[in-house]
Amino acid sequence: MSVDSRTFGGVTVTRTAWFVGAALLLSGAAAVAASPPPAGSLSLSLHLAPVFVFGGGSAIAMIGRRSRLVAGLATIVLADRALIHLGHGVTFDLISLLVPLNLAILVWLPEAHPLTAVGAVRLGVIGLQAGIVWFLHSTEIALLPASFHAPFDDSSLHTWTVLPHATLAVFGAALAVTLVRIVGYRRVAAAGIAWALVASFIALDTAMSGRPATVHFMTAALLLIVAVVFDSGRTVFRDPATGLPTRLELTRMLRRMPDRYAIACVQVDEFRRFRGSYGPEATRRMLRAVGGAMQNVGGQGRAFSCDTASFVVVFPRTRAVRAAALLESVRQRIPAIMHDVMVREDVVELVREEVLESVAVKKASVSVTISAGVAEPSWAGVDPRDVLSAAEQALTVAKREGHRVVV
């Protein structure tokens, strides 16, 4: 998705609208934080806000298969709870480092389903960090030198923030890394993380001043959730047989390629023979299985279905040698995927001294193989469509060499 605009629910959200909306949300949070402390049910709602935000955001992440959102929400909510229940000191020192570092790392990680091993590891790392913060707080170990707490000597900076210079430096570096992702790849999720960094900075500055920071932390979490919702908002056209994005989605991706990448063209060997022998239902199940293998190729590779039995895999920021190695691993795994099919069995019977031929059907397990061709741009600025054509030519060479190879 482009940061310039996004169509969601029939409404086109421009970059300006996204900027204004985020600014209004931050301003609203500042107004709420500056107002007198709420009482009664409103105070209870504010106290339970982290639970609702994390729960609702995690549900959205499950639906959208966004483990980065779960990890980002966990980082923000745990930081808010730690400052409330553990106080400042070493707790604040670690949080002021971990929050920007975690968000900056998340913006560069590939997306994964929260219920996969990758998603579990990401959430486990956040949990481990929380355990370290609690341990250092309980043992009162000073992890950072006294110089960390020194504020900026520049009085003009000290007038708008009380955070130490080291915290400002970490947040500045994290925001710069995030902006590179926004400019280079134009993703709304990255823009949401950038706004979450701003809101988290305000939250820590507020906490350092001795005021509650929950409103600002929850604003950071909401900005993450909204960004992911809009980043998932564009309709993705998928092939019904494989479940993969179609050639239209491939064309969209080729318009925003980085300088370094590799493209692979993949084809199921002897597809027509398989379809003719085992029928459309077995063919559909086979294509779904091969499409799943292509989707899990690794190396940030993104697979597309481009023909009945042809796929294209795009590997951003990957050399052709690495892409070929990843595809070779998939090529070796696919023959191990067995497909249950019904096959014809000719039976010859003797009836009243007449030879009759009948057809019986039995169940069997079969597999398929794939061939692939890989190409990469020779220099910066090469049209990605030319690289795609080169990958198609490499696939032709692979089929000429007898299939079952990666060229």
Q: Is residue 23 part of a domain?
A: yes
**Under 8 Å CB-to-CB from 128, ≥6 apart: which residues?**
none
Q: How confident is the model at residue 215 (pLDDT cuts 50, 70, 90)?
A: confident
R_g of the chain, CA atoms, integer Å = 27
Query: Are 13 and 148 contained in the same domain?
Result: yes
What is the pLDDT, as a whole number, of residue 304? 92
Q: Is residue 407 part of a domain?
A: no
Helix (H) or strand (E) holding 348: strand 339-351
Q: Is residue 394 part of a domain?
A: yes
Question: Tokens 């707490």, residue?
Answer: 149
Nearest by Cα to 6 from 16, 59, 243:
16
Residue 299 is part of which domain span?
247-400
Q: What share of the chain is helix, strand, coil (3-state, %, to 5)?
A: 60, 15, 25
What is the pLDDT, as a whole number, of residue 159? 58
Q: Which long-range contacts (CB under 8 A, 24 or more apart) does 283-291 make?
A: 284/241, 285/339, 286/339, 286/368, 287/241, 287/242, 288/241, 288/242, 288/243, 289/337, 289/339, 290/242, 290/334, 290/337, 290/368, 290/370, 291/239, 291/241, 291/242, 291/243, 291/244
For 112-123, letters b (16+ CB in 10 Å) and e give bebeeeebeebb
Query: Are 351 and 207 contained in the same domain?
Result: no
Q: Is residue 242 part of a domain?
A: no
Mean pLDDT taken over the chain: 77
Higher-pLDDT residue of 91 and 383 is 383
| Whether 54 contacts 221, CB under 8 Å | yes
Query: Are 373 and 227 contained in the same domain?
Result: no
Query: Are 157 and 216 contained in the same domain?
Result: yes
Query: Are 136 and 63 contained in the same domain?
Result: yes
Query: Are 165 and 266 contained in the same domain?
Result: no
> Span 42-46, mean pLDDT?
55
Query: Are 317 and 206 contained in the same domain?
Result: no
Give tens-digit pLDDT for 352-394.
555 545 555 667 778 889 999 999 998 877 899 999 999 999 9
CATH number of the domain encompassing residue 259: 3.30.70.270
Query: Are 12 and 104 contained in the same domain?
Result: yes
Name the domain boundary from 182, 207, 231: 231
Give tens-digit pLDDT for 244-259.
888 888 888 888 888 8
User: Does the pLDDT value for residue 341 go beyond 70?
Assistant: no
Query: Are 213 and 280 contained in the same domain?
Result: no
Name the domain boundary from 231, 256, 282: 231
Lowest mean pLDDT among 2-16, 40-54, 316-330: 2-16
Higher-pLDDT residue of 28 and 12 is 28
Query: Are 274 and 159 contained in the same domain?
Result: no
* Distance in Å from the first CA to the final CA of the chain: 31
Using a 10 angstrom Cβ sphere, with 0-12 exposed, 13-18 middle and 19 or more buried, the burial of residue 378 is exposed
Q: Is residue 221 part of a domain?
A: yes
What is the pLDDT, as a whole number, of residue 354? 56
Query: Are 257 and 370 contained in the same domain?
Result: yes
Query: Are 167 and 304 contained in the same domain?
Result: no
Q: How confident is the model at residue 311 (pLDDT cuts 50, 70, 90)?
A: very high
- Model confidence pTM above 0.85: no
What is the pLDDT, as a whole number, of residue 7? 44
Q: Is residue 378 part of a domain?
A: yes
Q: Is residue 406 part of a domain?
A: no
Q: Is residue 149 part of a domain?
A: yes
Question: How many domains are contained in the chain?
Answer: 2
For 30-44, letters b (16+ CB in 10 Å) and e give beebeeeeeeeeeee
Give alpha helix (H) positions in 232-367.
247-254, 271-295, 320-333
| Residue 180 DSSP symbol | H
Name the domain boundary from 206, 231, 256: 231
Give tens-digit pLDDT for 169-193.
888 898 888 888 777 655 667 778 8
